[in-house]
Structure 1
Amino acid sequence: QGEKMRVVFFKTVLLLLWILRVNGWMHSKCNIYDYVDDMPDRDCLQGYSKGLIASCKYVTDIEEDLHGLPQNINNLCISMTMDENGIMSLDFFSQFHDLEYLDINGCFSQILPTGNSQALSNLEYMRLQALWVTGCCDCNVGSNTFRYLVKLSNLTISKFRLSSMAPDVFNGIPNLRNVSIGNSCVKDLSEILCRLMYIKSLTDLVIEAQEIQTLNQSNCPILNTNESMTPVFNNLTGCSLIFGEITHIEEGALDCFKNLEKFSSYLNEELLLQLPLSGIKQIHLLRYFGSEHIDFRSICNLVFLLSIKKLEFNTNYPISFSMYHVDLCVGLESIVLTRTLHFYTSISQIKWNFISTLKNVTYLSVYDRTENSLDLCSFQKQPITWLNKLVLYLNIQFFFSNQFSCLVNLLYLKYKSKLSNIEDFAFLGLRLLEYLDLSNNNITHIHANTFYGLYSLIWLDLRENPLIHNTEALSFTHLTSLREVFLGKLNSPLREPVIKLNLTLIFGDILSQLTQLYITSSMRPMYIGRCVEI
């Protein structure tokens, strides 16, 4: 009887351990995971994960609610309640000697430093956010609050009012290299830059300040009259500035930033002329939001002056340009044109011959649901050899034969909108194309020559199309490089309750080389063989 009791006890312990393994550590507000893939809310880690992970939600008192967690936690994500949570001391985390990553989503009235120089001595990444707060969190953070975080290299602060923190709040962090300041509820860029001046090891910086409308020369009390802020930011290897609607740019306002990784803002035509006078010498990516109709030549003038390589152009107005508008955009390597339709419904006028001028562009994306022309190749006397990736959201319902024949080096093609008919040999000439995404269209038929000529195609996505089950025989047999196919949901006429699909007839010999084939009928995904009844 005693032996049986031991066996029952042993099995119970194994069951409990299995439950812990599947569901995480048994804790009232926290779950613990060995692997990030086991976490349903892994976004808090921002891709950073090493070792044991703890995720705690609905926390009201950090010191009390985290009691009982293992001390060897490496990554800790905390989501506070929506109310202000009083005072937080960094001493609350002194028990976690191995903590390397700390993410806190919550608002506090004050953050106190730790009095223990060994506490959080291994912390490398810290993110403080107040996502649930309307406006900004007014949190008092004093001088040298983070001074004992000797290994801290990445710091993100979002929706905390920066003006509530001490001017030297970042002083004494010896290895801080990457800083991201998001929506800090300040209207003067100086409030941010003057605090960053204390970070001597800074190399990467992201500032998002939607409230700032005017860019003026910075005025920091720490500087003498003849001193400049520029030397403080000389070591920056990556810097992104993200603003809302800018109404004025003072000359020299951004003189401390010579090269920007990204600049994003709503700008009118006058401000496009002011930006080169701000002190910026080069921008890698310009994300432009148009609040009024603008001549695209003004954009290209800025591209030329600031050596811009990537352009994201967003506007409510019709996109209207051609070769005539883009001469000075010749240095661009990537273009994203997006037209939203909230207020204006006039038809755009895109003359696709502009691509023949932009011989450095390898990536082109156009989102304009009113544009009903896609004449890329008929005007071309020579092949377009520079374009590798093409993404389109247009009002095109029909692909005609040889539609893309001039794009001889295209590797990736994506089209999403209302495409319903594909003429035979539409993709002829795309011998190097590897990825074709035609998902979310109105395609109903696949014919034997629909994909003819795609000899290098390895990935094909046809999901979210009203495809009928009788795809024509031999439709895919010539796609000798094909590895992954997503056919999605196949529809059946009402008079046929069972869909019969002969895969060998459709794919031929290439069926054996496929590594993934996704087909579903109604809501039932399945694995299929050479011939299947759905």
Structure 2
Amino acid sequence: MEEMRSMFSHPAVLFLWIQSSSGWMHPKCQIYDSSEDLEHFPTWICSHIPHHAERYTAACQDVTAIEEDLLGLPPNINTLCISMTHGENRSMSLGFFSQFQDLEYLYIDGCFTQILPSGNSHLLNLQHMYLIDKWGTGSGCCDCHIGPHTFIDLVKLCDLTIQGYRLTAMSPDVFHGIPLLQSLIIIEPCVDDLSEILCRIMTIKSLIELKIVAPEIQSINQSNCSILITNESMKPVFNNLAFSDFSFGEITHIEEDALAWLQNLTMLTGVFSQEVLLDLPLSGIKQIQDFSCSGINVIDIESICNVVFLLSIKKIFVNNFNTSSLSMSSVELCTGLEYMYLSGLGSVHPSPHLKWNFISSLKNLNQLDIDFLRDKNPEICSFQKQPITWLTKLTLLINIQILFAKQFICLVKLQYLDLTQNLISNIEDFAFLGLTNLESLDITSNNITQINANTFYGLHSLTWLDLRNNPLIHNIEAMSFTHLMSLRQVFLGQVHNPLTEPVIKLNLTLIFGGILSQLTHLYISSAMRPMQLTIGILGQTVG
């Protein structure tokens, strides 16, 4: 209290506190001293940047000239987010921001004719900088000239993101000399040659994380960087790189050893033909952790698994594959996979009945997602004589209509089952029998109209059950949930009764029995209709 009294006893301090509590009076900017205040500011420009208590954030909009429009901002700003007006703006000097001694985060959305270095004015605390041109995304790039060593005076800069800026408008040594840069993200640089990126970043020795999103790159060729055209070109350039994420567009050609300078990739995303896909292991890459592949034409699973085996891939995301090629034998080389996402989205060919026995070959697979395919009656366990002990998470979006008894009985270690947005209208008794380890069951957005006493029989470990967005869910038989002894969170969604009944009545004790007292969340909605919930001998009517 003494400290607070002494603070308010000074009239100047009292004035500043009043101003900061409601935002500083500035024609272009609003300033906040907490993340809670910033949440009420109607702008997206600071939404993804972390905010700290007792730090100042300035959010500025409709800025046309930074040095003129941002005059008068307090010097103790920690985070500065700037949204420029649409259209080409004049040049910007980084030296302007040196007046903010505490500045750690600088986010600028806009395009400039050029960006000038800070000169003798060091930004001593700037750690994170984002240069974004969202207006140019998809319709053109920002042709901003950035000269050599522009960022060399940013002595603490560790995180740099550049999006929508044409990389060829920047000097080849634009990133040289940044002493502590660890994370670099380059998105939509408007280049079709990977060398234009590599030659500018390969001297950043401190780099730990690298992300490149370059949809215009279609051919992955040997680098023409002079420093790499030696006998040492086969050695990796980034010795400390721990995370690397490359995303390209439609890849039409991969040259041998074109990626030997990198060798290991955390994530690779691209669109491939089957022929080009098989050239990927010849690129010099030794290992890819996550691989996202969309097919120009339909790709056989066997070809994908060949690449998985050669590059030690752990997770795959596959769109537009040949579903008829899915079998136990076709996925033998995928045995090292831990995660598999298969989608038929974009395929012009109808999906045949899936051969679910392929799961038996994938002994390391713990998560399987199958989306946008069609199998109204998935025979997941009918082929399996032995229980599947490796799969723990399963997501199916395949237009299922009926869940039959013992449908999942072989998945004895399953913990998470997501059946959202199918066409399920009927769940037979004992459909989930055998799922003794299941903890989460999501059946939202289906056509379920009836819950019986044995619908969820056997789900002894279930803690989360979501039934929202199903019609006529009020048809819940007595004692339907009483045996779910681990249940904690239940989402029944909006209940429906015939319009001839003025009040929706639901006896919770009859449905849940003794487990009602252990629930931490019970979500029920009646929209605008009155609802009477009965608990024990008590009734309560809510609107």
SS in 2 for 1:157: strand
Indicate the residue corresponding to 2:117 in structure 1. Answer: 113
8 A contact 2:144–2:169 mirrored in 1? yes
Indicate the residue corresponding to 2:48 in structure 1. Answer: 46
Which of these residues, 92, 98, 105, is aligned with residue 102 of structure 2?
98
8 A contact 1:320–1:349 mirrored in 2? no
Which of these residues, 407, 414, 421, is aligned with residue 418 of structure 2?
414
8 A contact 2:370–2:395 mirrored in 1? yes
Provide the alpha-carbon RMSD of the alignment. Answer: 2.5
Indicate the residue corresponding to 1:6 in structure 2. Answer: none
- Size of the aligned set, in residue pairs, is 519
SS in 2 for 1:270: helix
Stretch of structure 1 that moved more, 355-364 or 287-296: 287-296
SS in 2 for 1:301: helix
Matches within 5 A, 1:474-489: 474-489=479-494
SS in 1 for 2:297: coil
Q: What's the offset of the Cα at 1:528?
A: 7.3
Identity of aligned residues (%): 58
Give the partner amino acid of 2:457: Y
Q: What's the offset of the Cα at 1:34?
A: 3.8
Partner deviation per Cα, 1:476-523 (whole Å, 9 max, x = no partner): 222121111212211221111221222222222222222222221226
8 A contact 1:162–1:185 mirrored in 2? yes
Q: What's the offset of the Cα at 1:252?
A: 0.8
SS in 2 for 1:276: helix
Query: C-alpha distance in 2, partners of 1:496/1:18?
Result: 56
Which of these residues, 392, 412, 417, is aligned with residue 396 of structure 2?
392
8 A contact 1:20–1:26 mirrored in 2? no
Q: What's the offset of the Cα at 1:226?
A: 4.0
Q: 1:204 to 1:421 in 2, by over 3 A?
A: same
Matched, 1:506 2:506: no
TM-score by length of 1: 0.91
Q: 1:34 to 1:449 in 2, by over 3 A?
A: farther
Indicate the residue corresponding to 1:210 in structure 2. Answer: 215
Q: 1:497 to 1:29 in 2, by over 3 A?
A: farther
Q: 1:315 to 1:508 in 2, by over 3 A?
A: same
Matches within 5 A, 1:201-350: 201-223=206-228, 225-228=230-233, 230-315=235-320, 318=323, 320-341=325-346, 344-350=348-354
Which of these residues, 124, 128, 131, is aligned with residue 128 of structure 1?
131
Q: What's the offset of the Cα at 1:453?
A: 1.3
SS in 1 for 2:265: strand
Query: C-alpha distance in 1, partners of 2:35/2:372?
Result: 38
Matches within 5 A, 1:55-66: 55-66=59-70
Give the partner amino acid of 1:418: L
User: Unpaired runs of 5+ in structure 1?
Assistant: 1-13
Matches within 5 A, 1:171-190: 171-190=176-195
Query: C-alpha distance in 2, partners of 1:27/1:464?
Result: 46
Give the partner amino acid of 2:128: Y
Indicate the residue corresponding to 2:30 in structure 1. Answer: 31
Partner deviation per Cα, 1:61-112 (whole Å, 9 max, x = no partner): 2223333333222122222222112211112222221111111111111111
User: Unpaired runs of 5+ in structure 2?
Assistant: 1-13
8 A contact 2:188–2:213 mirrored in 1? yes
Q: 1:520 to 1:29 in 2, by over 3 A?
A: farther
8 A contact 1:519–1:526 mirrored in 2? no
TM-score by length of 2: 0.90
Query: C-alpha distance in 1, partners of 2:425/2:337?
Result: 33
Give the partner amino acid of 1:246: I
Matched, 1:462 2:467: yes
Q: What's the offset of the Cα at 1:232?
A: 2.7
Query: C-alpha distance in 1, partners of 2:163/2:341?
Result: 28
Q: What's the offset of the Cα at 1:114?
A: 0.9
